[in-house]
Structure 1
């Protein structure tokens, strides 16, 4: 299903969205071009224009595949039912929108293709640097045309990027009291298109995600796993795009680091 020609076509489409719908608005947004979707969550004209372009091009590329875009799902939650179809694209047209809206990096584009709920292809574009990550099930992980293997930071204690933004007070206290002593905690980039590459390139060892919507995570989970790291639910089960109501996900630059962190988390249950 994921052929070299399909990889090349998806990359072309994503770079087109970045060049024509996203970057022209970077650091040029008017207040009227930024809307609040929820507290601490915004959408911009660039998100909407990029999603329209990506949806149109990806639909033409594989007419048999449904498309679930972040903004389409926000406008009509019934769109999420498409994730249960046999073939389905997931699209985050502008990942890291809050960063983008404030005129700062990182931000990117995320696209994945799933077959009956299982992710079979993933693509991650960093709009500013042009870095392009691609992967397919059983085909390894690649950055800018070179195959890559995940590496740890090598630091002790390991480096953990943990978001507490969407945690309640009790969960946040558990992280600070029981997890922080065993890891070096660092800020998250608020951009999955940046966070997953950090787990592969030796910048971070661990990441924890509370919200696990498919457009944010499908591409990155497959990319990390194919690179030799590990991303899975805390109970060890695989991430699936059609289980979009489930929460919590652990990513690690090696299976050993994943196991050690999951053991710590299990003791908090």
Structure 2
């Protein structure tokens, strides 16, 4: 295994690791967290004991699976930002041990586990597990996208106007006002799930047509952008450039079920 040979057997091992983390650290604590199991991490953001335990499981087992790869876990990088530098070269696992933590801590779905494998800043494999339903989405570069083992092609909702889930949480007030005033009227707006492990599948499975993401940290978007692109949709920066995990400070990303829907939204965003 040289890191780029992402075979079905390799994906099966990644899936088993992710399911072990979910079933050991996450699901048993759903709606069973003690008060001291939840800690404020930032404004409108929390971390739980489940995040930390899941990350420890994933980090250990993924390292065993591919020892030549470093690991960038969300909680480890939050504690030590120098860990981000691992994204710049060589093979690197990118781990979101509990995506949708705010939902999880509030006792509601969705939430999941995200794992990606990058090489020199380029995502080459992505795996997305819904912790409650067990739905497993995955993709590898030039290898297609799959849901529960079945190859899938992204499909739009076919609604008019198209369905949009626009994440404005991390926008500054002026930018948020511009998006709501000049972008939102062209779409049927729906709530965001606050969970990338749910949002990217929605763009592939015919639930949503387009999404805007402002903050684009690698553990939230590495797996999902690859999954959407390999399914035939499009995920890219606002200028059309490819999403790279080593550009973690860059903001702005559009995801769409089809390239046409992406182009239409990008043109509107460019006029703001």
> TM-score with structure 1 length normalisation?
0.99
2:146 matched residue in structure 1: 142
Counterpart of 2:255 in 1: which secondary structure? strand
Whether the aligned pair in 2 keeps the contact of 1:234 and 1:262 (CA below 8 Å) is yes
Q: CA offsets per residue over residues 211-231 of structure 1, 9 Å max, x none?
A: 000000000000000000000
RMSD of the alignment, in Å? 0.5
1:166 matched residue in structure 2: 170
| Mapping for residues 97-246 of structure 1, pairs under 5 Å | 97-246=101-250
In structure 2, distance between residues paired with 1:17 and 1:57: 10
Whether the aligned pair in 2 keeps the contact of 1:34 and 1:44 (CA below 8 Å) is yes
Q: CA offsets per residue over residues 139-193 of structure 1, 9 Å max, x none?
A: 1000001000000000111111001111111111101110111111111000000
2:6 matched residue in structure 1: 2
2:94 matched residue in structure 1: 90
User: Post-superposition, which runs of at least 4 consecutive aligned residues in structure 1 deviate over 3 A?
Assistant: none
Give the unaligned 5+ runs of structure 1: none
| Mapping for residues 33-52 of structure 1, pairs under 5 Å | 33-52=37-56
In structure 2, distance between residues paired with 1:23 and 1:177: 40
In structure 2, distance between residues paired with 1:152 and 1:255: 10
Counterpart of 1:50 in 2: which secondary structure? helix
Counterpart of 1:29 in 2: which secondary structure? coil
Q: CA offsets per residue over residues 105-128 of structure 1, 9 Å max, x none?
A: 000000000011100000000000
Which is worse superposed, 69-78 or 180-189? 180-189
Whether the aligned pair in 2 keeps the contact of 1:234 and 1:249 (CA below 8 Å) is yes
Whether the aligned pair in 2 keeps the contact of 1:221 and 1:239 (CA below 8 Å) is yes
In structure 2, distance between residues paired with 1:150 and 1:190: 21
Q: Does 1:260 align with 2:264?
A: yes
Residue from 32, 44, 64 that aligns with 2:68: 64
Counterpart of 1:129 in 2: which secondary structure? coil
Q: Does 1:13 align with 2:12?
A: no
Deviation at 1:5, TM superposition (A): 1.5
In structure 2, distance between residues paired with 1:240 and 1:186: 27
Q: CA offsets per residue over residues 215-255 of structure 1, 9 Å max, x none?
A: 00000000000000000000000000011110110000000
In structure 2, distance between residues paired with 1:166 and 1:57: 33
Whether the aligned pair in 2 keeps the contact of 1:112 and 1:122 (CA below 8 Å) is yes
